[in-house]
Amino acid sequence: MWARYIIRPSYDKNHTHCPCDQVIKERKHIMSKYNRNGFGRLGLILVLPFIILVISYLIYKLFLVADPVVTGIEAFELLSADKTVTIHGENIKTIEITLFQDGQTVELLKDAPENTQKTYVLPVKPKELKLRDGSAVMSIKATAGFLKEISHELQVFIDTVPPVLEIQRAPTVIQQGSAGFAVLRVKNADDVYIKLNDLRFPAFKVATDKKESDKPDQEGSIEQKKNEFEIYRVFFPAPFDIKKGSIFYAMAEDKAGNERVRSLSTRLKMKDFKSSSITIDDVFIQSVVTPLLNVAEISDPVEAFRTVNEQWRKESVEKIIEIAKTTENEVLWKGRFLQMRNSKVMARYGDKRKYVYTGKVVSRSAHLGYDLASYRHAPIQAANSGIVRYASELSIYGNTVIIDHGLGLMSIYGHLSELAVKEGWQVEKGEIIGKTGATGLAGGDHLHFGILVHGYEVSPLYWWDTKWITVHAATDN
């Protein structure tokens, strides 16, 4: 039989614990550490999505959300007695606009719009807001959310004093299709013109009435107002399509937008213009209209004619008005205007035309000049001295010359077969500028001659009359 041995741990007499107690203690320490680390990892797993969400939100706000943008605030730089300012905000959550002057705070806008884009129309009346003329500071603040904001400070000048305007000369009567001439005495204005409904006819400064030293405004304005009167001259038309009872107004504006309005005592006299009927046929359409459209064949002759006679005519008028914006601010002409030599009048200003095709009226127009005919390719004289503003093809007018005579007064020569001048040339009264022809919408060789006042055709008949010019258009008195 083998002997059975039981091995027991031996005790150190100097110690009170068995070695196994140390093992158990170490195991408990390890388990405690494991439990702590386990619960820490679990907490981190639970918190981590929230941390990622916060970080993503911050990144989105810092890098992906656009900055707020406010446009149109430069209109606040000069404030008149009554000014409406339109501003547009993009990517805005809140917006504030405030004016500061002499310790006073005036809130013009405070809003938190539902949409991130919004347009604001702000009426500003400094007197009602208890603000004085002079300098002020404007603060514009806008936010697009957390950490996204803009702030602007704008120097503002308030000017509520309108210009001074006196009418020194104006016609007592002006006929439909004619033109008038006025002399205005103005002080502290930056823009002076005659107004007819929505039309503006600019005046030109020609002299200073009485020179006086400038006096500074309150706070020192952006540009010191002049303490002097200035003389302006202006030609203005009574266009063919003017409405009965229309009133002409003299207007003076300053840079801030203050206005001074004076009505002219000019009485408008309406005229009865001749009506005529013109028959057009396929030969005319094929020989005249088709080449203008730059096609060999057309399927709808009526529509083709309407396109040229109505749409092209309208575009030609717009082009002429644009050309007329470039004019000298002095008088370049003298005396009556010349009619083409040995010419016969074929059509007059204001003729109301009906165009008949196969027995039906297919289009209408008004003839706004004089058609003058002589012999084929007859020489054309400059009706008066001036500068050539246009010398090229011009839609229904064909080859065209436009001469600037100053102060918005011009003459136009259409349907030419040959041009003898170029844009920018100085021409003298009577100088040959081209030859008659049948270019554009013309049925035969002739000259379309017209007088333009700021681009609007008026009847040349008056400008051929020495007496009328002396009474109504003399610029030396």
The DSSP 8-state label assigned to residue 441 in this structure reads: S
Q: CB of 188 within 8 A of CB of 164?
A: yes
- Residue 52 phi, psi (nearest 5): -60, -40
Per-residue pLDDT tens for 275-312? Answer: 999 999 999 999 999 999 998 888 999 999 999 999 99
What pLDDT, on a 0 to 100 scale, did the predictor assign at position 213?
A: 40
Q: CB of 305 within 8 A of CB of 383?
A: no
Q: Which domain holds residue 245?
A: 164-269
Percent of the chain with pLDDT over 70: 83
What lies within 8 Å, CB to CB, of 477 at 6+ separation is none
180 against 215, higher pLDDT: 180
Answer yes or no: is 56 within a domain: no
What confidence tier does 40 reach under pLDDT thresholds 50, 70, 90? low
* End-to-end CA separation in angstroms for the chain: 157
Per-residue pLDDT tens for 72-112? Answer: 999 999 999 999 999 999 989 999 999 999 999 999 999 99
* Cα(460)–Cα(467) distance, integer angstroms: 14
Per-residue pLDDT tens for 344-388? Answer: 999 999 999 999 999 999 999 999 999 999 999 999 999 999 999
Is the domain of 212 the same as that of 330?
A: no
3-state secondary structure of 255: coil
Cα–Cα nearest to 455, from 411, 398, 392, 391: 411
One-letter amino acid identity for 25? K
User: What is the CATH number for 319?
Assistant: 2.70.70.10
Whose tokens are 């936010």? That residue is 143
Answer yes or no: is 140 within a domain: yes
3-state secondary structure of 264: coil
What pLDDT, on a 0 to 100 scale, did the predictor assign at position 105?
A: 95
Cα–Cα nearest to 446, from 347, 308, 316: 347
Percent of the chain with pLDDT over 90: 75
What pLDDT, on a 0 to 100 scale, did the predictor assign at position 430?
A: 97
What pLDDT, on a 0 to 100 scale, did the predictor assign at position 77?
A: 93
- Residue 323 phi, psi (nearest 5): -60, -40
Residue-averaged pLDDT of the chain: 88
Q: CB of 350 within 8 A of CB of 459?
A: yes
Torsion over CA of 143, 144, 149 and 151, rounded to 10 degrees?
A: -50
Answer yes or no: is 5 within a domain: no
Is the domain of 452 the same as that of 337?
A: yes
- 7-16, 138-147, 207-216, 436-445: least confidently modelled range: 7-16
* Cα(400)–Cα(411) distance, integer angstroms: 11
3-state secondary structure of 137: strand
Answer yes or no: is 2 within a domain: no
Cα–Cα nearest to 72, from 38, 40, 106, 95: 95
Answer yes or no: is 14 within a domain: no
What pLDDT, on a 0 to 100 scale, did the predictor assign at position 475?
A: 79
CA dihedral over 449, 452, 458, 464, signed as positive or negative: negative
Is the domain of 103 the same as that of 120?
A: yes
Question: What domain count does the chain have?
Answer: 3
What pLDDT, on a 0 to 100 scale, did the predictor assign at position 221?
A: 47
Is the domain of 171 the same as that of 136?
A: no
What pLDDT, on a 0 to 100 scale, did the predictor assign at position 228?
A: 87
What pLDDT, on a 0 to 100 scale, did the predictor assign at position 474?
A: 80
